[in-house]
Structure 1
Amino acid sequence: MPSLTAYGNRLAERARALPPPAVDAVIAVVCAVNIVVQATVNGRLSVWVAVTAGVSAVALLWRRAHPFATAGVIGLCTVTLSLNGGLGDLPPAQLIATYTFAALCPPVKRLIAAAATAAGITVSVLVPEDEVLNLGLVGIAFIAAYALGTGARARRDRIAMLEERAARLAEEQAAAATRERERIAREMHDILAHSMSMVVIQAEAGPVAVRSDPDKAEQVFDTISVTAREALAQLRRALGVLRSEEASRRPPPGLDALPALVDGVRNAGLAVTLEQDGEPRPVPADLAVTVYRVVQEALTNTVRHAAAGEARVRLSWHDRTLRVEVGDDGRGPAAPSPDPSAGGAGLGLTGMRERVAASGGELVTGAGPGGKGYRVAATLPLD
């Protein structure tokens, strides 16, 4: 046999499942019946008592939408009934109205309604009966109703705050996931675009070199092997980060890897020079990766699209900035492609801009001096 507690819990769950208008209708009927019964017991039942009870009960139907007005209407009805002896010791409709305006009204209206309720209680108790003790007991009941309404309002505000915080956290998580996807896309693009471009160029030159210059052919295949191995190593590192594996076994490429990068491009047939101005100094790892990726993407675009014979990489060290410039003598800026993913340099340029912006720098691309060739220049803060 189920316990009384379990039975009560089931009743409470069913009550919470009812729609608010149905709950308010039940409350209104109960309050109206209570007034009629109290008036009957006191021998004061009349038509106007029944009408007043009906008015206060109907007002309860709008207590959620208009709590302040509902409290005023019910207060007038309660005082009228009390002064004419048609009300019991505790007016349930007024208690519910007090709970409602405490839970739903803004501060100013809540203060006005509380003061009016206190005045109404005083008049209702002292004028017809002149019993101060009853005033204390009734006051305690109304204070409890007001406290319950205040608690409900605080609980509702806290729920709203938690929901807002959860929504904001979800937005932040979505934004972080988007940034991480963009970072991974940039990383994979930079690794694959450069390495595969070098492999394709060397592979296309291999058959010719085999027939004309076997020593050169051997160098070509060595370059393909080195480039592919380096690409695989960088891909393993990127995938290791995605799997939350230890990523420090092979650090990301930085400034010290630029000579090897230039040599690889030079082996692909493009005459590249690497120059530095100013006094080099240590830089943060993320800034070093940005410099490497900018140079890598710029040289990849030169090899794939510029039909250039020469290129120059220059690092200019200043007090607070590092300027990275990559220029070539190719055919200059290409017309923008409507679909950068269709093989153009659009994705690479976008990735460069995102990397440089993330480091607090500025990227400029366009025609080289005198309108010849193409130039990529990034200015990065060192502090």
Structure 2
Amino acid sequence: MDPIPRPHGAEIVPQEDAPARRSTYDQRVEPVVPWTLGPRARRWFDALLVLGLCALASAHFLSDEPLPAAVSLSQFIPLWWRRSHSALVFAVVAASSAAQVVVLGMTDPIVGQLAFPIAAYSVGRWGGRWSRPFSLVVTLCACVVAAWAWTSWTASADNRLDNMVAPALSCAGVAVSSWALGVAGGQRDRFVRSLVESAEQTRRMAERDVALAAQDERARIAREMHDVVAHGLSVMVVQADGARYAAAQDPGVAVPTLEAIADTGRASLAEMRRLLGLLRTEESGVRPQPRLDDVAHLVEEAKAAGMQVEATLPEEWPSVPDGVGLAAYRVVQEALTNVRKHAGPQAAATLRVTVDDAVRIQVTDDGRGAASGPGSGGHGLVGMRERVAVHDGAMSAGPAVGGGWTVSARIPL
């Protein structure tokens, strides 16, 4: 139901504020991506991180400790690929950390062990489904091994287990916290990515709905144009042929016939301007539409064109919805147009319109029937069926018993 009352027999087609509404909708569905580093900024960040850590590792060279410096560099350099190959980088750093115990022996921590929490964070954030839990197990084992190595030279065998608890917990706290932060960051990335994809899908669906609505509107206008042009031109052709034959016998007949042709042409042009006006955004889009009681004008127009029409219409036209009235009017218009075009020059038509729980229409002619082929192609019958189907009605068209053609339609109220 429209929120604004419509004038009787008018169709509301809002156009002026359509661009404003579309822009507001587009702003509402435009995905808002949280601030994050771009690809170039990420490369610079990783480069500065690796270079800074390598600079710390070079301090071992200044202290005449080349072996710890080499081990530290072997742990820092793989961090350059921590985003694209996080699981492999973690495995390399973990292996290098394990090799540290073998190569350097039981010694103090070296600066290269800063790579382990960074690698744990990276695999927690960018690692695969199975690499994340596996890396957590490796991290806990590495913390125990590191604590065992660090306490080997400060504690005896009797109290070694007691003394390694504090270093193990400290190491695990740093490494596991880094891993947990990485997992949380990965979940956030996936959640943001899903929101962006959902907003993008919503935008695409909105664009598709707009395109489908425009396509439906173009199809409706095409049907309207077909009805107007086919009906108006067929009337004008019949009247022109009649005037041409009658003028040879009685020239006075040509004058009123030409006036009727001019009136029909002006009415068709006005109807075409109304339809074309729907395509112009600078107009309001409010145009009067034919109603059910305008069927009587169709009958008068057909008779004026020389067609033999016997019409049975309601004495008092009941009030019906505008859409139903327009559909009924177009069905009668197209049916009479088909009689003029296909039934033959001497064909007579019978029109019957009744209104009870539905608008019932029947148009029968005694012309050439199926031989004329009115249902073989074209948009007329298709347009009638579509109009009736919109209102959950039914329509049939085919040869009549004894010859001719019959069009029947029922449009529920």
Q: TM-score, normalised by structure 2?
A: 0.69
CA contact (8 A) 1:59 1:73 kept: no
Tell me the alpha carbon deviations over residues 65-121 of structure 1, each in whole angstroms, 9 at most, x when there is no partner: xx7x658846863773576667513423332222103xxx5xxx3xx6544444433
- 1:186 shift after superposition: 0.7
Q: Which position in structure 1 is the counterpart of 2:204? A: 167
Aligned-partner Cα distance in 1 for 2:314–2:94: 88
Post-superposition CA distance 1:215-253 (Å, at most 9, x none): 5333312321221222122122212222242344x5111
**2:235 corresponds to:** 198
Gaps of 5+ in 1: 1-11
In the alignment, which residue of structure 1 is the partner of 2:395? 363
2:383 to 345, 348, 351: 351
- 1:313 aligns with one of 346, 351, 356: 351
Instruction: Provide the secondary structure at the position in 2 that maps to 1:203.
Output: helix
Counterpart for residue 158 of structure 1: 195
**Which entry has the higher C-alpha Rg, 1 or 2?**
2
Structure 1 counterpart of 2:278: 241
The AA in structure 1 aligned to 2:146 is: P
**Aligned with 2:172 (options 110, 118, 135):** 135
- For residues 369 and 322 of structure 1, what CA distance do their matches in structure 2 show? 23
CA distance in 2, matches of 1:156, 1:280: 61
The 1-side partners of 2:250 and 2:370 are apart by: 35
| Corresponding residue SS for 2:379 | helix
Specify whether residues 295 and 171 from structure 1 end up closer, same or farther in structure 2 by C-alpha distance, changes over 3 A only.
Answer: same
CA spacing shift, 1:363–1:50, aligned 2, 3 Å: farther
Task: Assess, with a 3 A threshold, how the Cα gap between structure 1 residues 212 and 279 changes in structure 2: closer, same or farther.
Answer: closer
Aligned to 2:260: 223
Does residue 1:298 correspond to 2:324, yes or no?
no
Residue 96 (1) aligns with residue 133 (2): no
Could you tell me which residue of structure 1 aligns to residue 143 of structure 2?
125
Q: Structure 1 residues 176 and 215 mapped into 2: Cα distance closer, same or farther (>3 Å)?
A: same
Are 1:177 and 2:211 matched, yes or no? no
Instruction: Classify the secondary structure of the residue corresponding to 1:197.
Output: helix
Structure 2 match to 1:325: 362
Q: CA deviation at 1:289?
A: 0.9
Q: Structure 1 pair 278/203, CA: closer, same or farther in 2 (3 Å)? A: closer
- Offset, 1:173: 2.0
1:9 is matched with none
Contact 1:364–1:378, Cα closer than 8 Å, also in 2:
yes
Quote the offset at 1:380 in angstroms. Answer: 1.7
After superposing the two structures, state which structure 1 stretch, 72-81 or 267-276, moved more.
72-81
**Superposition deviation, residue 330 in structure 1:** 0.9
Q: How many Å apart are 1:266 and its aligned residue? A: 1.2
Indicate yes or no: 2:95 matched with 1:77.
yes
Using the TM superposition, give the Cα deviation of residue 284 of structure 1 relative to its aligned residue in structure 2, in angstroms.
1.5
1:189 equivalent to 2:226? Answer yes
* Residues 191/214 of structure 1: CA separation in 2 closer, same or farther (3 Å cut): same
CA distance in structure 2 between the partners assigned to 1:76 and 1:88 by the alignment = 10
Residues 28/89 of structure 1: CA separation in 2 closer, same or farther (3 Å cut):
closer
Separation of aligned partners in 2, 1:196 and 1:14: 65
CA RMSD between the two structures? 4.1
Rounded to whole Å, the distance in 2 between the matches of 1:121 and 1:79 is 11
Aligned partners of 1:78, 1:288: CA distance in 2, in Å? 85
Bigger mean CA deviation after superposition, 151-160 or 69-78: 69-78
State how far apart, in whole Å, the 1-side matches of 2:292 and 2:201 are.
45
Q: 250, 265, 269: which is aligned to 2:306?
A: 269
Partner SS for 2:369: coil
Q: What's the CA shift for 1:49?
A: 5.8
Q: 1:78 to 1:158 in 2, by over 3 A?
A: farther
Q: CA deviation at 1:300?
A: 0.7
Structure 1 residues 278 and 198: alpha-carbon distance in aligned structure 2, compared to 1, 3 A threshold:
closer
Partner of 1:283: 320
Structure 2 unaligned blocks of 5 or more: 1-36, 103-108, 148-165
Change (3 A) 1:151 1:336: farther
The whole-number CA distance in structure 2 between the counterparts of 1:39 and 1:282 is 98
Letter paired with 1:97? V
Q: Does 1:377 align with 2:408?
A: yes
Distance 1:240 1:42, change over 3 A: farther
